[in-house]
Amino acid sequence: MSERKLTSPGVRFPPPLVFVVPFFVSFLLDRRLPFLIFGDDPPVVMSVAGLALLVAGLGLMHWGVLRFWMANTNLLPFKPATLLVMTAPFTFTRNPMYLGGTVAYVGGALVTNWAWPLVFLPAVIGVTNAYIIPREERYLRSAFGAEYDAYCQRVRRWL
C-alpha cells in the first residue's frame, strides 16, 4: 500500500505565533508579577548582547524568508511548496526561520530584562521541534522524496 501524497505540512497557524504569543504573555505577566533576569539595573553588556542576538536572529529569519521569496515558493506552512530551497542559509540549517526566531526570542528577553520569556523558552522550542518541524519534514519528504532525504543527510535540523 502506498503512502498518501500530502498537499501541505498541515500546520494550522502561522509559526511565528509560537514565538510572539509567549513573548506577549511574558509582557502581561511582567506587568502583574515582575520577574527580572538581573534586577532593576541590568548590566549594559546584557543589553548589548541581547540587542546583538535580536538583530542576528531577525536577520537570519529575514534571510530565510528572502530565499523563499526569491525561489517563488510558499512560505506559509498550510500551502504546498513549489520547490526545495537549499541555498544559504539553508546550507547550514534546515530551519533558519525557527533558529532565527529562537535567537531573536532570547535576545528580546535579554534586552527587556524579562525572565518570563526564558521560562517559556522550553515550550517554544518544544512546540517548534515536536509539532511544527516534524509536520513540515513529513510533507517535504512526501513532496520531494529522495532529494529531501539527501538534503537532510547534508544539513542538520537546527545547527
Q: How far is CA 125 from CA 32, 45, 110, 131, 132, in A?
A: 25, 25, 17, 10, 10
Confidence of residue 1 (pLDDT cuts 50, 70, 90): very low
Asked if residue 59 lies in contact with residue 117, where contact means CB atoms within 8 angstroms, the answer is no
Tally the domains of the chain.
Answer: 1
> What SS3 state is found at 159?
coil
- Whether residue 47 lies inside any domain: the answer is yes
Torsion (CA) 101, 80, 63, 14 in degrees, nearest 10? -30
- Whether residue 118 lies inside any domain: the answer is yes
- Whether residue 106 lies inside any domain: the answer is yes
pLDDT digits (tens, 9 = 90+) for 127-142: 999 999 999 999 999 9
3-state DSSP helix/strand/coil % of the chain, to nearest 5: 65, 0, 35
- Whether residue 98 lies inside any domain: the answer is yes
Cell of 26: 511574558
- Whether residue 109 lies inside any domain: the answer is yes
- Whether residue 10 lies inside any domain: the answer is no
- Whether residue 29 lies inside any domain: the answer is no
- Whether residue 66 lies inside any domain: the answer is yes
Given this model, what pLDDT does residue 59 score? Answer: 98
pLDDT digits (tens, 9 = 90+) for 37-92: 999 999 999 999 999 999 999 999 999 999 999 999 988 888 889 999 999 999 99
Given this model, what pLDDT does residue 3 score? Answer: 58
Cell of 4: 498518501
Type of residue numbered 86: M
pTM of the model: 0.94
Residue range(s) defining the domain that contains residue 66 = 43-75+86-154
Helix axes 44-71, 96-112, angle to 10 degrees: 160
